[in-house]
Amino acid sequence: MVANKVFEDPRGVNTVFTYTNSAIDLDSYVTINGTPARISKVYTSAEGWNPGPGSSNQGVIGFNYAGSSYAFGDTFVINSSSGNTTISGYNIPTATPAVTPSVTPTPSITPSVTPTTTVTPSVTPTTTVTPTVTVTPTVTITSTVTPTPSITPTNTPTLTPTPTPTATPAAPTLKKAIFGYGTTGSNVSVTNKVSDTGVVSTDTTGVGTARSSLAAAGYGGDKVIFGYGNTSTTVSMTNLVSNTGVVATDTTGVGTARFGLAAAGYGTDKAIFGYGANSSYVNLSMTNLVSNTGVVATDTAGVGSARYYLAAAGYGTDKAIFGYGIISAETNVTNLVSNTGVVATNTTGVGTARSDLAAAGYDTDKAIFGYGFGPGGVQSVTNKVSNTGVVATNTTGVGTARSALAAAGYGADKAIFGYGLNNSFANVSMTNLVSNTGVVATDTTGVGTARYYLAAASYG
């Protein structure tokens, strides 16, 4: 296999593409100086790559080298089950770093209410008795006198009711989770349910269009919506999931078709899809709100840095947070979402900049970002999010480092990470449970089809 053309990504996002004059195996990946490079996409005729008439170009392979020490002209190798091919020379574009403004959140103040109590006075009635006795000599008369008391009426006081303070709405209790869709090299639509104790079930036959790089979130208090993604092109259709985990057929898409986006619940019963990239690999920042009946709204103008392959989760019982992803390279900026679905501007990033990670809520009001692809390859670090949306520094990783995985809450206050790609770009199906204090457990043996670029959310 010989490359006959090498060119850089026109967006300048540290990605290289090269045509080849023979077909590329689905399991192909790139190494440079012995180090695996992040694959953006391997295109073959099965994945929608169609050479022009008379062209000898049979495939195209792309890889990302952001954050690595590759030099111009280094030799890269296409590795596959058919063998290795060494190709020299490629262009390295220079990315312009994004400037992240600092945002200071405004605290919310709850007024204090003091009830007024009216005191009822105590009244003691006064009794007046005037006996009259007449005495005549020789005749003794005994008079019986019945006194008539004089009573002062008791006044009835007017009571002032004690006002009842408005309570912060409680987050719904979600006990189960569902992983769905993704790719094994070919897109699939299978789902795997997770019990309220974190046990993953075997595959459920897929419903709806098979696709990858989609997103999912809870809505309506106990249901789920899967949306958007990539088939052989970007799509915008959605699939609703009942409170028993049954997936419905496709609903016609609303909003801009895109892949590599993220989604989360907000406002206790609604959801939001945000960010991603379109079919031309242009980064996006628009959002689409989802009502408590699962109806997706048209695009809302984007706020914050346009990026893709990010993650999102709910926090604080009724708010959400988007974080990390790729702008021109991996980033760690976050954007908070209010309980009315309004997205805030960028918050300065904390923790290792990375993409292809996952996030979920835990402990009823907190969140956790975990795993992903960053400097040196796949990662296993996690970053906790407080109930006010503050992201903590890295927690040392537990479990197999991987990227392109998914995560969701289960058991009302715990979370689960599952599936993805390991450092050898092999599909995996293991899971890692997260306690209600945010502690990640070691690997649990995988159940169901090993796959990556899937999505997950809580229901029930």
Q: Which pLDDT tens digit goes with each residue over 361-412?
A: 999 999 999 999 999 899 999 999 999 999 999 999 899 999 999 999 999 9
Out of 62, 88, 114, a domain closes at 88
Is the pLDDT reported for residue 108 higher than 60? no
Evaluate whether residue 69 is within a structural domain: yes
- Closest to 411 in 3D by CA, of 367, 456, 460, 368: 460
Of residues 64 and 181, more confidence is placed in 181
The predicted structure's pLDDT at residue 230: 98
* DSSP per-residue codes, 336-378: EE-TTSPBPPPB---S---BS-EEEEETTTEEEEEEEEETTEE
Evaluate whether residue 121 is within a structural domain: no
Out of 42, 70, 88, a domain closes at 88
Q: Structural domain of residue 37, as residue ranges?
A: 3-88
Residue 167 φ then ψ, to 5°: -90, 150
- Per-residue HEC secondary structure of 274-328 comes to EEEECCCCCEEEEEEEECCCCCECCCECCCCCCCECCEEEEECCCEEEEEEEECC
> Could you give the strand order of the β-sheet that contains 406-410, starting from the edge strand earlier in sequence?
406-410, 414-421, 427-434
What CATH number is attached to the domain comprising 63? 2.60.40
One domain for residues 222 and 342: yes
The first and second tokens of residue 308, run together, are 């893709």
Q: Please give the Cα distance from 212 to 234 (Å, whole number).
A: 10
Evaluate whether residue 145 is within a structural domain: no
The predicted structure's pLDDT at residue 16: 63
Q: Please give the Cα distance from 67 to 64 (Å, whole number).
A: 9
- Closest to 23 in 3D by CA, of 54, 53, 2: 2
One domain for residues 182 and 83: no
What CATH number is attached to the domain comprising 276? 2.120.10.80
The first and second tokens of residue 22, run together, are 């023979």
One domain for residues 312 and 438: yes
- Closest to 264 in 3D by CA, of 156, 194, 338, 188: 338
Q: Please give the Cα distance from 452 to 57 (Å, whole number).
A: 28
- Closest to 356 in 3D by CA, of 417, 434, 399, 273: 417
Evaluate whether residue 391 is within a structural domain: yes
The predicted structure's pLDDT at residue 163: 55
pLDDT digit string, tens, across residues 67-78 = 455 555 667 777
pLDDT band for 423, please (50, 70, 90 cuts): very high
pLDDT digit string, tens, across residues 139-176 = 443 444 444 444 454 555 555 556 565 555 555 566 99
Provide the domain count of the chain. 2
According to DSSP, residue 79 is labeled: E
Q: Please give the Cα distance from 307 to 305 (Å, whole number).
A: 6
Q: Per the confidence metrics, is the pTM higher than 0.85?
A: no
According to DSSP, residue 211 is labeled: -
- Closest to 387 in 3D by CA, of 102, 178, 108: 108
Q: Give the helix/strand (H/E) hosting 459.
A: strand 455-459
Is the pLDDT reported for residue 187 higher than 90? yes
Evaluate whether residue 110 is within a structural domain: no
Out of 88, 118, 147, a domain closes at 88
